[in-house]
A and B are shown apart, each in its own frame.
Chain A
Amino acid sequence: MGSVLTIKNINVYYGAIHAIKGISFDVNKGEIVTLIGANGAGKSTTLHTVSGLMRSKTGDIEFLGSSIARTPAHKIVEKGISHVPEGRRIFQGMTVEENLQMGAFVSKPDRIAHNLEYVYEQFPRLKERTKQIAGTLSGGEQQMLAMGRALMSDPRLLMLDEPSMGLAPILVDQIFEIIQNLNKAGTTILLVEQNAQMALSVAHRAYVIETGRITLSGTGAELAQSEEVKKAYLGG
């Protein structure tokens, strides 16, 4: 099990605010790794730094053995990292099909049909709605579209930011089932969640982030049993 993503001592600032204070962790091939923590702890910022939308002042980010810390965001997708941002951020004015085409922006033409089939297989609801304007989809469907769009580029690493946000419990279960299916099919996943219970139940390993630092780490099961985690994040 080789390392897919290695984060070494990154420090990220929003102007004068020191948002990420020396975080290091890694994600191995075939794993689901989750980052849990309160709102504003720095989970999303970490993902933004990996995908190149934000920059770290120090340290390094290695993906499949080479540094991507200075690679522009649009080139990082090409290297095999897909990021489903918080709030889905699908292209509201475009159709479902056009959104998926945008997801395949860097894909080789001969892979697109294959990937589209795979996405429709994972999300049959999208197939029924190819010509619908994305902004008119329900919240759950929009999440599926955001995930499907991210899968169109054949990612080696899929980063999901709060996929359960704003969804009814039954849809949350469904989304997590899909996450596990994707993982079983071979996709390595880095998952950021406020729903710590769900996240820990599917994750191989987990890190707890508090105010820009990693305070705890372990397997999903270990952290789910930890007294500190129970008290702070599982409402126990």
Chain B
Amino acid sequence: MNFLTNLISGLSLGSVYAIIALGYTMVYGISKMLNFAHGDIIMIGGYVSFVLTMYVGMNGWVALLVAMVVCTLLGILIERLAYRPLRGTGSLAVLITAIGVSYFLQNSALLIWGANPRVFPSLFEGINTIHAAGGKLTIAPVSLFTILANILIMIVLTLFVNRTKAGKAMRAVSEDNGAAQLMGINVNQSISLTFAIGSGLAAVAGVLMCSAYPVLMPTTGAMPGIKAFTAAVFGGIGSIPGAMIGGLILGIIEIFSRAYISTELSDAIVFACLIIVLLVKPTGLLGKKVSEKV
């Protein structure tokens, strides 16, 4: 039964990675850039939620909604101020800018909230751990909720992208930016919307992650950001189901490595798996083959 408990922890951690990876993969798909500041949006979401619950006394769930709004606006603002002026220039300039934005966010948080780790108030405080199978299987409420939230987000997002006009426009821009403009699609608006969705989801991921691992620091978003980026590449960057599968697999590998092999080596094992997948299938598990246009 220990195995099942670990599996659920793995799925839960993987769900957090998957939700973050969505932001990476959608932004990459539509604007072909790696937004390395994405991980730090998680941290901002965590702090906003922390401040609102601890100092303003807001209900945790309301604080989560506010954090989503703040992160959504922040994502749109970052795209508008930092990335849009560089559109059409080389990808290296955008990549370096993204790293710059990442440091800017981390250091702003350091300035505002200080370097001391804060203990994040869990969304699920007071809700008992679920015991099943005669006490052998334990499920934390945060794990269960994270897994369900991930499934719901995936369903809603898939429907949005495949069924709505705005979602289809996003797919069109991802496939061919120029042709999308010739259809009358406002590419800037589509890209803004993508950043908005990705950043709003990052706030959800931040609050869920901090509820499970309640330490909040300015660098809190960095490692999960890198792991989620790995998950996106693992699953095939640009693919929404790829982000989900990549995230879940990564979470399970990480928890199982910690449980059965070594806590210290768990990150090394995660990244080794990425290298192996990329050696065998360079486009990731669900990645599309990139066909160069003539």
Contacts and interface: CB of A to CB of B under 8 A. Distances in A.
Pick the most buried of A72, A74, A87, A106: most chain B CB atoms within 10 A of its CB.
Answer: A74
Given A91-B171, A94-B172, A105-B165, A83 B182 contact: yes
Nearest to B190: A74
Nearest to A90: B179
A212 interface: no
Interface in A27-55: 51-53
A89 B176 contact: yes
Nearest to B175: A91
Contacts of A92: 175, 291
B184 A91 contact: no
Contact of A73 (B168, B172, B175, B181): B181
B184 A74 contact: yes
Interface string B131-175: 000000000000000000000000000000000010011011001
A105 B180 CA distance: 10
Given A87-B293, A89-B176, A94 B181 contact: no
A74 B184 CA distance: 4
A91 B185 contact: no
Contacts of B182: 51, 53, 73, 77, 82-83, 85, 89, 150
Given A74-B185, A103-B183, A149-B183, A98 B178 contact: no
Contact of B178 (A89, A106, A153): A89
Contacts, number: 67
Interface residues of A, number: 28
Contacts of A90: 179
Interface in B172-201: 172, 175-176, 178-187
Contacts of B176: 89, 91
A49 to B, nearest CB: 13
Nearest to A76: B184
Contact of A74 (B181, B288, B293, B294): B181
Contacts of A98: 168
A93 B288 CA distance: 10
Nearest to A106: B184
A72 to B, nearest CB: 8
A180 interface: no
B181 A85 contact: no
A130 B168 CA distance: 16
Contacts of A75: 184
A94 B172 CA distance: 8
A86 to B, nearest CB: 10
Given A102-B168, A102-B172, A87 B181 contact: no
Nearest to B294: A87
Contacts of A91: 171-172, 175-176, 179
A101 interface: yes
A149 B171 CA distance: 16
B234 to A, nearest CB: 21
Contact of B184 (A53, A87, A105): A105
Given A91-B172, A94-B171, 9 more contacts: A72-B186, A73-B181, A89-B176, A89-B182, A90-B179, A94-B168, A98-B168, A105-B185, A153-B184
Interface of A: 51-53, 72-75, 77-78, 82-83, 85, 87, 89-94, 98, 101-103, 105-106, 149-150, 153
18 contacts: A51-B182, A52-B181, A72-B186, A73-B182, A77-B184, A85-B178, A89-B182, A91-B172, A91-B175, A91-B176, A92-B291, A101-B165, A102-B183, A102-B185, A105-B185, A106-B183, A153-B183, A153-B184
- 5 smallest beta-carbon distances between A and B, as pairs: A77-B184, A106-B184, A73-B181, A89-B179, A105-B184
